[in-house]
Amino acid sequence: MKTVPLSDLFDVQIGYRPRDDGDGEEMFAVSISDLDYERQHVDQFPVPGPGRLWLGDLGAVRSDARKMSYGLCHGCVLFLSRGHRRVAVPITERYVQPWPPTWDDTLVLYYFFILQPKADMISPEFFAWLVNDGPLQVSLDAMASGSHIPSVSKRNFVELEVPVPPRAVQDRIVSIYELAIREERLGQRLAELRRRQADAYCNQLLKQSST
């Protein structure tokens, strides 16, 4: 399969590092805590799953940086470069909720890389699948350095060789993945419902036996 250096697919920007003096305009800030790892908002996403981006509880920072350098837009990808988990989030309505009316007042902090597509060679959803569930996870784990807080350097990241099948194949893989994720969540919700019904029935039997 054809592979392409990531630098040919995306422009990569490291997120904003706040200054100590606190000068500048107050803006919402996307941080690690906004990744829905614990699935607290899992049913709010059209494609449920771990590592979605929840914007309902954003913090704020004062920034003297140019907004567009550290901002997000539809179709870009957010990559978590620091920590023990490598996660990519495509910035689309299926993976980001609640979807904002504008991105102009939001920036991304330095824990992340912001990937802006250079061309239409790869879909953001397919790239995220490659990172989260596909073959790139192993390569990225090997790139990470540091024992306390492992991180992937931008220099190594842009040299990553990315498999790029035809767009029809990319779209099919994403469709299969998203269908499997939805079916998995439906199964979990059904199991939760059955458990509650069973608990209610058992409590009812216990109550009846004591009368």
Walk along the chain (211 residues) and give the pLDDT tens digit of each residue: 789 999 999 999 999 988 766 667 888 999 999 999 888 899 999 999 877 999 999 998 887 665 557 999 999 999 999 988 899 999 999 999 999 999 989 999 999 999 999 988 999 999 999 999 989 999 999 999 987 889 999 999 999 999 999 999 999 999 999 999 989 888 888 889 899 999 888 888 888 887 6
CA distance 107 to 103: 8
pTM: 0.88
**Cα–Cα dist 211/207, whole Å:** 7
Consecutive H or E run containing 30: strand 25-30
Residue 38's nearest CA partner among 47, 26, 49, 24 is 49
CA 80 vs. chain centroid, Å, equals: 8
**Nearest-angstrom CA–CA distance, 149 and 180:** 32
Tokens of residue 2, six digits: 């054809």
Q: Is 132 within 8 Å of 80 (Cβ atoms)?
A: no
User: 167-209 vs 124-132: helix axis angle to the nearest 10?
Assistant: 60
β-strand 106-108 against 25-30: which pairing, if any?
Answer: parallel
